[in-house]
Amino acid sequence: MSELIIWTYDWVPKGPRGFVRDLRLRWACEEAGLAYSVRTVPFDGRQTNHLSRQPFGQVPFLSDGELETFESGAGLLHLARKNEKLMPRDPVGEAETVQWMIAALNTIEMVTVPWWFLEVSGEEDNGLADWMGNRLDQLEKVLNEREWLAADRFTAADLLMADVLRIPEVRSSGGRPATDAYVTRVTDRPLFKKARADQLAHFAAADASRSAAG
Ligand SMILES: N[C@@H](CCC(=O)N[C@@H](CS)C(=O)NCC(=O)O)C(=O)O
């Protein structure tokens, strides 16, 4: 079997630690029991230093033998196809899982990320607040009626949706108890905690080698 390699940065500032999207792939491998290793590209010079592998200079990307794929969603789908724990094999369960993975990225994260950028830029009136609030209200109705998004059990769709929603600021307006309970339920999983701890340890070790290098 070919070796799975998750590629991330060699270092990032403290702010994004615990949220860098290699965590999605680490967590998925852990849930599926897939062996993997983590390798790095330099954070410094990221705008140009690995464009042949990730055309936007970002991370993560994933290699699996000859195959290499960027975008955390694509990496997650690749892993989900390998293991039923992440995505059921029956056509209905699979379609539900894929549909909610795309919804996490293209309906929820597509507004939460720009909303958050405007928020941290100090804009007094965040013009995306209503749009994001509306999407989160709609999702709250769904989560009020079910424990998991697809196939009545944990899948890669929950992994991705919870990872999008766990940014504390996104849920800071409150008033969506089903969503809060969902995020807690998914991120209470021991293998999420392991993946997060591993990412934090990776960047802490990078601090140590940076300061040793002077
Ligand atoms: N849509 C991409 C987004 C990747 C992304 O935003 N990666 C961040 C780390 S979580 C990054 O590389 N940021 C540095 C940059 O954009 O220069 C994915 O899901 O893989």
DSSP 36-78: EEEEEE-STTHHHHTTTTSTTS-S-EEEETTEEEESHHHHHHH
- Please report the atom of ligand 1 found closest to the CA of residue 60: 20
Ligand 1 contacts CB of residue 46 (under 6 A): yes
Ligand 1 contacts CB of residue 71 (under 6 A): yes
Residue 4 burial (CB count, 10 A): 22
What is d(CA 60, CA 209) in angstroms, rounded to the nearest whole number?
Answer: 21
Beta carbons of 92 and 35 less than 8 angstroms apart = no
Q: What is the pLDDT of residue 187?
A: 98
Q: Is the dihedral of CA 60, 64, 69, 73 positive or negative?
A: negative
Q: What is the pLDDT of residue 209?
A: 83
- The protein residue with its alpha carbon nearest to ligand 1, atom 2, reads 71
- The protein residue with its alpha carbon nearest to ligand 1, atom 10, reads 20
Q: What is the pLDDT of residues 86-135, one digit of tens each?
A: 999 999 999 999 999 999 999 999 999 999 999 999 888 899 999 999 99
Centre of ligand 1 to C-alpha 80, Å, is: 20
User: What pTM value is reported for the model?
Assistant: 0.97
Ligand 1 contacts CB of residue 59 (under 6 A): yes
Q: 39, 83, 62: which is closest to 191 by C-alpha?
A: 83
* Probe target for ligand 1 pocket from 17, 54, 58, with the most ligand atoms within 8 Å of CB: 58
* Probe target for ligand 1 pocket from 6, 21, 51, with the most ligand atoms within 8 Å of CB: 21
* Probe target for ligand 1 pocket from 59, 164, 199, with the most ligand atoms within 8 Å of CB: 59
**3-state class of 9 per DSSP?**
strand
The gap between the terminal CA atoms of the chain, to the nearest Å, is 40
Q: What is the pLDDT of residues 48-80, one digit of tens each?
A: 999 999 999 999 999 999 999 999 999 999 999
- The contacts of residue 144 (CB under 8 Å, 6+ apart) are 178
- The protein residue with its alpha carbon nearest to ligand 1, atom 12, reads 58
Q: What is the pLDDT of residue 211?
A: 81
Ligand 1 contacts CB of residue 21 (under 6 A): yes
Cα 102 versus chain centre, distance: 12
Q: What is the pLDDT of residue 1?
A: 59
Specify burial of residue 28 (Cβ count, 10 A radius: 0-12, 13-18, 19+).
Answer: buried
Query: What Rg do the C-alpha atoms of the chain give, in angstroms?
Result: 18
**3-state class of 8 per DSSP?**
strand
Return the DSSP state at 35: -
